[in-house]
């Protein structure tokens, strides 16, 4: 199968510490990448069509048919990503055009179609080509959960055991985020293998790594759900859970008060620093003015002494 690249947008009781640990995270379903080893109960017997495989920017992508040449970027030779119009009128991926210009020592790029010069100052004025965007959004692709890495490792091909759906590129997230063939991680343990969404309920009923609800308070028991339900009835933590929760609440409240006091102390420290700065400025101003006044006093004293000397001379002449 010939493949060409193009970039779409795309158990028991454990010891308890003196400080009981808080739960770090809530249980949730974590999406993991599709794996060729995953199997499904709905295999298809269709012959795989020839594909045009997208460059793996955000997700594995395979087009049902080769996109029109009008949707191919002249620079990287793949489907446009954020297509924009250059001043010459030709369309390029925004990042391709920016790369073309910025990698030139003079910050000048040349359109590969008509050789128009594109300068760095032209980049802020690039306009999205909405017609091309709409056309790309309508391209038909296979669901990513129906793809697997090609034997050569250079792209993506149909996985006949995966999702058989064909969807519009612009609506891929709507489908793929709820696709029954999507693989997800077990919410109880990383030790469990990933499973397809449609098999999650079955896995959770038999999962051997369900943890005790009191795990945040120190209980290390784990097992299948029925065993955990029975364990909870006799869990040593259960009888003191209320006390532990109240203690944690008080601890959290004290921590919050401590943070508030630290913030107040930091604020007061800043105020003291500002006052010290102002005081230093005032001291320098006072010293400067005192120096000026002392200079004036010395001038006046000298002038007064000179005047007194002249008066004494005049009085001496008068007596003579």
Look up residue 180 and give its two tokens. Answer: 């029954």
Picking from 204, 244, 243, the residue whose alpha carbon sits closest to that of residue 226 is: 204
Torsion of CA 150, 151, 153, 156, to 10 degrees: 0
Q: Is 274 exposed, middle or buried (0-12, 13-18, 19+ CB in 10 A)?
A: exposed
Confidence of residue 137 (pLDDT cuts 50, 70, 90): very high
Q: Is 232 exposed, middle or buried (0-12, 13-18, 19+ CB in 10 A)?
A: middle
pLDDT at position 306: 87
C-beta separation of 145 from 182 below 8 A: yes
C-beta separation of 62 from 157 below 8 A: yes
Q: Edge-to-edge, what's the strand order for the sheet holding 91-93?
A: 91-93, 83-85, 127-128
pLDDT at position 133: 94
Summarize pLDDT for 282-297 with one digit per residue, the tens. Answer: 999 999 999 999 999 9
Picking from 50, 49, 54, 47, the residue whose alpha carbon sits closest to that of residue 73 is: 54
- The pLDDT mean for the chain works out to 80
Confidence of residue 231 (pLDDT cuts 50, 70, 90): very high
């Amino acid at each position: 199968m010939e493949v060409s690249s193009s970039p779409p947008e795309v158990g028991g009781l454990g010891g308890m510490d003196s400080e009981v640990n808080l739960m770090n995270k809530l249980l949730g379903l974590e999406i993991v990448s599709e794996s060729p080893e995953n199997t499904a109960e709905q295999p298809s017997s269709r012959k795989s069509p020839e594909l045009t495989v997208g460059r793996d920017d955000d997700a594995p992508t395979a087009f049902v048919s080769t996109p029109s040449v009008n949707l191919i970027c002249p620079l990287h030779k793949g489907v446009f990503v954020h297509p924009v119009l250059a001043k010459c009128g030709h369309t390029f991926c925004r990042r391709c055009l920016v790369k073309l210009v910025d990698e030139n020592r003079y910050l000048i790029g040349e359109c590969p179609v008509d050789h128009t010069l594109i300068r760095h100052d032209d980049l802020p004025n690039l306009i999205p080509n909405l017609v091309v965007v709409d056309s790309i959004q309508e391209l038909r692709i296979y669901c990513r959960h129906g793809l697997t890495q090609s034997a050569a490792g250079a792209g993506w091909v149909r996985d006949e055991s995966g999702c058989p759906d064909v969807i519009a590129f612009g609506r891929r997230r709507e489908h793929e985020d709820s696709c029954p063939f999507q693989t997800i991680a077990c919410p109880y343990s990383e030790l469990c293998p990933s499973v397809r969404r449609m098999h999650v309920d079955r896995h959770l009923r038999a999962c051997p790594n369900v943890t005790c609800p009191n795990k945040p308070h120190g209980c290390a028991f784990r097992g299948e759900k029925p065993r955990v339900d029975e364990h909870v009835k006799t869990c040593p933590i259960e009888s003191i859970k209320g006390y532990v929760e109240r203690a944690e609440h008080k601890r959290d409240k004290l921590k919050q008060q401590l943070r508030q006091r630290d913030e107040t102390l930091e604020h007061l420290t800043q105020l003291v620093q500002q006052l010290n700065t102002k005081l230093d400025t005032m001291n320098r101003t006072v010293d400067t003015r005192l120096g000026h006044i002392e200079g004036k006093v010395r001038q006046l004293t000298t002038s007064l002494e000179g005047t007194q000397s002249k008066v004494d001379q005049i009085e001496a002449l008068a007596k003579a």
